[in-house]
Structure 1
Amino acid sequence: MAGSRPKSGPTMHDVAAAAGVSQATVSLVLNSASGSRFSEETRRRVRDAVDRLGYRTNAHAKVLRDGVAGMIGFIGDSVATTPFAGAIIEGAQERAWEDGLLLLTMNTGGDKDLEAASLDTMLSYKVAGVVYAAMYHRRLDVPEALAGVRSVVLNSQDRAGRLPSVAPDEVKGGYAATRRLLDAGHRRIGLINIETLESRLPAAVGRYEGYTMALEEAGLDVDPELVRFGGGGEEDGYRYAVELMTAAKPPTAIFCANDRTAWGAYQAVADLRLSIPADVSIVGFDNQTTVAPHLRPGLTTFELPFVAMGRRAVELILQDAEPHGGVELMECPLIERNSVTHPKEMP
């Protein structure tokens, strides 16, 4: 009948009647209460009745009973539009599910009003914790509301130093990228960075620091003529690769501090009628799956560990540790393809 109230569905009383047990037994079986001892036959009858009737537990009742819902909140600035987003959400969701929790995900698009409303809604649901994620590594201001719930900053760092953060180890990544080229025999190694050092962007500063560490460890000076500071796009990769490769003494290898920059460098090398890796070896960073595997030759690069970072952020929430401003840095693994070989002058 129009306007009639929809049927609420089977109740715990219905499950108890179908299984031939008390409501208390159904509740204890479904919630795996510690200390409750039932035969496997009783548990099977309850589970069969639940499946047959299509019974669903009441999330609101769980909040009233336990004080938290079976969910972890995930707020990101561009989780719906960034190529990396799927991996970071996959890791967080996978880890949450291992403890029987769902991930409640919200993309804000950088809209602070939407972020505040989303966070308010998540907190009203009594989520077990909140992962506050950014889609590129930076220091950011965390909403004050997160002080009232277990929270972890993911792929960035809390500028105020209050909440724990999980982020990629940019210094080790820059070091390993440069070391890969040194190990291939290169000594004139260019760098096209993704921002200036003055920007204080952790990825740009850290990858440059790793580059200089590797060179100095090899007994080489950093040559300013071999270093360029772009904006992280293919246009700068193209422009600066042309500058480097048409210089009087060009590098034999270039570390591009992200894969989009490397993509631009590939185009420059092709337009100069040169070859990768015969004339110049190139290493990227990010392992952006829409770019790196599809370049020819495939780009040797370093992967941002998004799945592992997503898992770790949820793990820190589940551990219920005291809030702290420490930053946990995760290693960026090498993805070896075909863009690196030894320099021509090697015997």
Structure 2
Amino acid sequence: MHDVAAAAGVSQATVSLVLNSASGSRFSEETRKRVRDAVNRLGYRTNAHAKVLREGVAGMIGFIGDSVASSPFAGAIIEGAQQRAWEDGLLLLTVNTGGDKELETASLDTMLSYKVAGVVYGAMYHRMLEVPEALAGIPSVVLNSQDRAGRLPSVAPDEVRGGYVATRRLLEAGHSRVGLINIETLESGLPGAVGRYEGYTRALEEAGLALNPAVIRFGAGNEEDGYRYAMELMTAAKPPTAIFCANDRTAWGAYQAASELRLSIPGDVSIVGFDNQVTLAPHLRPGLTTLELPFVAMGRRAVDLILQGAEPDGRVELMECPLIERNSVTHPKEMP
């Protein structure tokens, strides 16, 4: 800093005030420019350790995820968190644990030793999580999941509303025999499976339609189950005219079943998915109408809460899943 001051022809105190954008300091733009030019020319960097000692926190927010390196959704969720952190001049320190608890513990210890401003504890699919005790002493937010103990604030997708909107889209197109291929059993307790099923049943009830177990299947959220259960539904004596597939991979399997049966989508059967997986949904033929998981918005909101102090109040903020219209829905051939 002494060298920067000498090169810019100002005092060391002026350099400090300019670099820290101190409130109340009044310098001409020419002075600020001289300081910045000297910083760039000399390659000056602030002392991060001194900053931590002075302010108590580093200019970083930690992000720990179970599969941030391999999930197709990871880029969007990290992008949202990183954008929001950077807007306040903070960097996101990201660690992919791959589900390794020892690595998670070591990573968390390192982040806490660096005095990060807070920690986002993320999962790549919505579930109830056992949150490390170490997070109790620092502003922390559970992202895309929920704290099973109900202590930390959580940001997650509104699964119930999403299932309702998906089913409602098919009902409004004129379908009354709407099938469902879910991503797990209700007994699993998986929030995505339970919530999307609840939204489906709520939409039917609101439309005055009885729940029909004959057109409901519980798969595992993969292409194989989508194919198998769509084949069962579409070859039944009274097949559904539309199917809500509770994720896009399931819908992909349903597309394959329809193709094998020489059925047109959406002419013979309309399909709605869930996820808006960008490597899949837009590239199916026809493009898949689906619900988008709001990963960017959720990532931003998690960092927002940390910047606000993230009180351990156990709140759960559910974020809307927008409907992405493509070409897989139309009215049924014959009105039921």
TM-score (norm 1): 0.96
Find the counterpart in structure 1 of residue 111 from structure 2: 122
Find the counterpart in structure 1 of residue 102 from structure 2: 113
For the pair 1:288 / 2:300, whether they are aligned, the reply is no
1:161-199 CA-to-partner distances (Å, cap 9, x unmatched) read 000000000000000000000000000000000000000
Equivalent residue in structure 2 for 1:86, among 75, 82, 100: 75
Secondary structure of 1:285's partner?
Answer: strand
Structure 1 residues 321 and 132: CA distance shift in structure 2, 3 A: closer
Find the counterpart in structure 2 of residue 274 from structure 1: 263
Secondary structure of 1:248's partner?
Answer: coil
For the pair 1:307 / 2:296, whether they are aligned, the reply is yes
Secondary structure of 1:284's partner?
Answer: strand
Partners in 2 of 1:41 and 1:92 — Cα distance? 35
1:296-322 CA-to-partner distances (Å, cap 9, x unmatched) read 111000000000000000000011142
For the pair 1:155 / 2:144, whether they are aligned, the reply is yes
Find the counterpart in structure 2 of residue 97 from structure 1: 86
Secondary structure of 1:216's partner?
Answer: helix
Find the counterpart in structure 2 of residue 249 from structure 1: 238
Structure 1 residues 84 and 170: CA distance shift in structure 2, 3 A: same
Secondary structure of 2:274's partner?
Answer: coil
For the pair 1:170 / 2:134, whether they are aligned, the reply is no
Secondary structure of 2:275's partner?
Answer: coil
The more displaced of 36-45 and 95-104 is 36-45
Partners in 2 of 1:268 and 1:135 — Cα distance? 28
Partners in 2 of 1:339 and 1:97 — Cα distance? 38
1:131-173 CA-to-partner distances (Å, cap 9, x unmatched) read 0000000001000110111000000000000000000000000
Partners in 1 of 2:271 and 2:79 — Cα distance? 30
Find the counterpart in structure 2 of residue 227 from structure 1: 216
Partners in 2 of 1:263 and 1:251 — Cα distance? 17
Equivalent residue in structure 2 for 1:187, among 176, 193, 196: 176
Q: CA deviation at 1:40?
A: 2.3
Q: CA deviation at 1:25?
A: 1.3
1:210-251 CA-to-partner distances (Å, cap 9, x unmatched) read 000000000001100010000000000001001000111000
Q: How many residues align?
A: 336
Secondary structure of 1:261's partner?
Answer: helix
Partners in 1 of 2:8 and 2:86 — Cα distance? 28
The more displaced of 28-37 and 15-24 is 28-37
Find the counterpart in structure 2 of residue 57 from structure 1: 46
Secondary structure of 1:282's partner?
Answer: strand
Q: CA deviation at 1:61?
A: 1.1
Amino acid at match of 1:83: P
Find the counterpart in structure 2 of residue 199 from structure 1: 188
Secondary structure of 1:179's partner?
Answer: helix
Equivalent residue in structure 1 for 2:121, among 124, 132, 137: 132
> How well do the aligned residues superpose, as a CA RMSD in angstroms?
0.9
The more displaced of 287-296 and 249-258 is 287-296
Unaligned runs of 5+ in 2: none
Find the counterpart in structure 2 of residue 4 from structure 1: none
Whether the aligned pair in 1 keeps the contact of 2:227 and 2:250 (CA below 8 Å) is: yes
Q: Which runs of 4+ in 1 moved over 3 A?
A: none
For the pair 1:25 / 2:14, whether they are aligned, the reply is yes
The 5 Å alignment of 1:316-331 reads 316-331=305-320
Q: CA deviation at 1:38?
A: 2.1
Find the counterpart in structure 2 of residue 44 from structure 1: 33
Find the counterpart in structure 1 of residue 61 from structure 2: 72
Whether the aligned pair in 1 keeps the contact of 2:227 and 2:255 (CA below 8 Å) is: yes
Q: CA deviation at 1:32?
A: 1.1
Partners in 2 of 1:166 and 1:15 — Cα distance? 44
The more displaced of 316-325 and 190-199 is 316-325
Amino acid at match of 2:50: A
Secondary structure of 1:323's partner?
Answer: coil
Partners in 1 of 2:301 and 2:43 — Cα distance? 34
Identity across matched positions, percent:
88
Whether the aligned pair in 1 keeps the contact of 2:122 and 2:145 (CA below 8 Å) is: yes
TM-score (norm 2): 0.99
Q: CA deviation at 1:96?
A: 0.3
